[in-house]
Amino acid sequence: MSQTNVKKLTPEQAALIPVYREKWKARSLSTGPINRSQAEETVKSAYSAIGLKAPEIIFVDRPYEAADLIVSRLDNPSSELRSEFETKLRSPLEKQLRGYLRSQLESELQSQLQTQLEARLYTQLQTQLWEAHRNYLAGFIASQLPPEEVINEPSRDFYWQRLGRELFSNCIQPVLWAAYGSLFDFCISVLNLPHSYARNWIVFQSIVRDCGLIYPYDKVCIVCEKPLAKPSKRIALSADSNHRLHAEGKPAVQFADGVSIYAYHGVILPEWYGRLHPHEWQSKWVLKEENAEVRRALIQGITYDRICQELAVTELDSWQEYTLLSIEFDDDFDIVGNAKPVYLLKMTCPSTGHIHALRVPPDVRSSSRASLTAKEAIRWVNWGIDPEEFSVQT
C-alpha cells in the first residue's frame, strides 16, 4: 500500500480544516441521554477489536456513581484497559495516517485540528469539571475507612493515590478522542489517505458518538452518561468559537445531578457571577474581586467603557501600555480603610489587547509628589522593581 507523502494542501483542502474542526467539536459537545443499546454494542465491538471478550457493562448516570463502583467493586489495578485501547485501537490508525504526511504538514494539521480542541476544551474539562467529582469521591473513601485510618497520613495518601489512578488514569474520555478524530477524519475524508484499520476507525467514531466517560476493565466496563441537563434545559455543555468553555447567565457544563460549572471565554467563574448575564454584572465588582483571571473576565464582560462611565473614572497618569486611574465614590462602597479615591492600574496586553486591572494602595508613593504616578503604581505591582529596569516587558 504505497503512497507518496502529502507535502502541501490545496486551497480547497485547507478551506475544509475549520469545517472538520467544528464537526468534531460538535460531536464532543453533544448532550442528551446516550442510546444505551447502541453504547453497549460499541463497547462490545471495542473489546473485540483489541482481542478481548465482552465484559459486564454497567451504565451510570453520573461520575459519582462510577467512582463508587470502582472503589467498592474493583480491587485489581492490573485489570485497567485504557492504555490497551489506546495502544491497539487508536495508535495504529494514528501512526499509519501520520506516516503519509510530511513533518511540516503534520505539525500544521495537528495544530489546527487536534491541538485546538485538545489543549483548550479538553484541558478545561480535565482540570475543572472532574475536580468536583474527585472531591466527592475523596469524601466517599474517607467514609469507608475506620476512624484510625482516616487520620493516618500514609493510609490517607494511599487512598488519594488510588483515587487519582482510578478516576483519571483508566478513563476513556470521548472529548479527548474527538480531538484526534478531527485529524483522522480530515486525513481519510479530505486527503483520501488509505489505511488498513477500517474496523478501528468505525469503533473509534462510535465511542465518540455513543458513549460518555468509559472506565474499562477486564471483566467490567462502566459507561457514564454524557453531561446532561434536566429535560427543561437542553444546553449542558457549551463553548465559544475558540473552543473554550463559555456560557452567559447559565452553566457552561451541567450534569443531571446538578453539578455545574460556569465559565466566561475559558475563565471559570464562581456561581454568583456565572448565573448572571454579563449585562447584569456590576462595575464595582472589579474592585473587590481578588482573582486576576476572574477580574479580567469581569472587565471583558462589563466592558471597559461601561466601567469608566459607571464608576466615574479619571485618568491620572500613563506610562507605555499602563494607565493609572482614580475612582471617586459617593457612598461607602470602599471597604479597605474607607480610603478615597480608589486607585486602579489598567494594563493593556500588547499581544492580545486584553485589559487587566489591579487595585493599588494610595500610600505607595515613593516621592514627594502630591498624587500617585503610573510608574510608582507599576513599581508596587512588580514588587519594587522600577519599570525602567524591565529588560523584557510582557
The pLDDT tens digits of the residues spanning 160-181 come to 555 555 566 788 888 778 888 8
> How large is the C-alpha radius of gyration of the chain?
26
What is the three-class DSSP state of 249?
coil
The residues, any chain, with a CB within 8 Å of residue 185's CB and separated by 6 or more, are 20, 23, 24
What does the block give as the cell for 363? 500610600
State the Cα–Cα distance between residues 185 and 93, nearest whole angstrom: 11
pLDDT confidence band for 69 (50 / 70 / 90): confident
> Contact 360/372 with Cβ under 8 angstroms?
yes
Residue 18 — pLDDT band, cuts 50, 70, 90? confident
| Burial state string for 353-378 with b = 16 or more CB within 10 A and e = fewer than 16 | eebebbbbeeeeeeeeeeebbbbbbb
Tell me the angle at which helices 174-185 and 17-28 cross, rounded to the nearest 10 degrees. 160
Q: At what angle do helices 198-210 and 174-185 cross, to 10 degrees?
A: 140
Tens digit of each residue's pLDDT (9 = 90 or more) over 242-265: 777 889 998 887 765 566 778 898
pLDDT at 336: 43
What does the pLDDT average to over 264-273?
A: 86
53: which 3 cell numbers? 471478550
User: Residue 137 region, left (φ>0) first, then alpha (ψ -120 to 50), else beta?
Assistant: alpha
What's the rounded Cα separation, in Å, for the pair 60 and 28?
19
Distance of alpha carbon 362 from alpha carbon 360, whole angstroms: 6
What are the grid coordinates assigned to 273, written together?
457571577
So where are the chain's domains? 11-224, 281-389
pTM of the model: 0.56
pLDDT tens-place string over residues 334-372: 444 444 667 878 888 777 777 777 778 777 766 566 678
Average pLDDT along the chain: 76
